[in-house]
Amino acid sequence: MNQTDMSQINETGWNRRAYDAWVNRHGVPAEYAEKIKHDSRKSVEHYLNYMNGIKGRKIVNLLGSKGNKAVSFALLGAEVTVVDLSKDNARYASELAEAAGVKVTYIVSDILDIPETQKISDADYIVLELGVLHYFLDLDPLFELIHEGLKKGGRFILRDYHPMVSKVLRAKDGMMAVEGDYFDRDMKEVDVAYSIHLPEEQKKSLPKNTIRRWTLGEVITSLVRAGLTIQHLEEEAGIRWAFPEGTPEGFEEKMPGLFTLIADKK
């Protein structure tokens, strides 16, 4: 399987019922927009800590899904572009932005195959977050694209599930067990992520996604190869929702559930 095949499989999954899932999770876009407008910093506070102001800045949210982070950034004065291959996600995000009264440019495309007229360039910040790296068979083309899309002095902010959780640990019988292989490079067939927000009968009709999980070392090495300069790596503890259902109480304080990696273009 190559990247094109993998992307096509995942695009199919993300265009079935993603819009319905977001309505189930957050309400219709107009309802969710009111919540975001009430506290536009809430969902992006973590990222703002690594940004030197965003008003008037150009932010690109790759694989930006339903658009809530993009809308939050736009409400805070940024010029925001989302790139995502799901038309369902784009529909929800576009309605969300309209209801919030902000402009968000949404490019429906495979990140590695963005039309020439819509290529990302001169971004102050590029944000990639939460369960997206595993959609790539090779990280080098992705990080090279990010390097090219940043302006000189621009910053890449990557936040994702820590590979110790996504690759190794499992909740089992009220305890955490080591069941995976940290160094496994095989592709996996998994449920499409939004399926948890759908009724059981609708889940059964969804196609699977194909993913490849990465080690922290692989991520860092690929970033450096792309010419980005790593400034900070934070392994985040205390985030219970990053762990699987059934994780013993308090375990999230002892293991990192997420990591945030900051890299600049010199």
Q: Taking the alpha carbons of 195, 187, 106, 230 in that order, is the dihedral positive or negative? A: positive
Give whole-number Cα distances, 108 to 39, 45, 87, 89, 211, in Å. 27, 26, 6, 9, 20
User: What is the number of structural domains in the chain?
Assistant: 1
Q: pLDDT digits over 73-99, tens only?
A: 999 999 999 999 999 999 999 999 999
| DSSP structural state of residue 76 | T
Q: In which domain, by residue range, is 85 found?
A: 3-264
pLDDT of residue 204: 86
Q: pLDDT digits over 103-130, tens only?
A: 999 999 999 999 999 999 999 999 999 9
Percent of the chain with pLDDT over 70: 100
pLDDT of residue 176: 87
pLDDT of residue 175: 84
Per-residue pLDDT for 31 more than 90? yes
SS3 246: coil
Give whole-number Cα distances, 166 to 131, 163, 178, 256, in Å. 9, 5, 11, 11
Measured CA to CA, the distance from residue 135 to residue 139 in angstroms comes to: 10
Neighbouring residues of 228: CB distance < 8 A, sequence distance ≥ 6: 143, 146, 147, 156, 263, 264, 265
- Band the pLDDT of 148: cuts 50, 70, 90: very high
CATH number at residue 166: 3.40.50.150
Q: pLDDT digits over 169-224, tens only?
A: 888 888 888 888 999 999 999 999 999 999 998 988 899 999 999 999 999 999 99
pLDDT of residue 88: 95
pLDDT of residue 103: 97
Mean pLDDT of 232-256: 93
pLDDT of residue 90: 97
pLDDT of residue 259: 97
Measured CA to CA, the distance from residue 200 to residue 204 in angstroms comes to: 7
Token digits of residue 148: 């090219």
Lowest mean pLDDT among 41-50, 102-111, 238-247: 238-247
Strands 209-211, 188-190: pairing kind: antiparallel
pLDDT of residue 178: 86
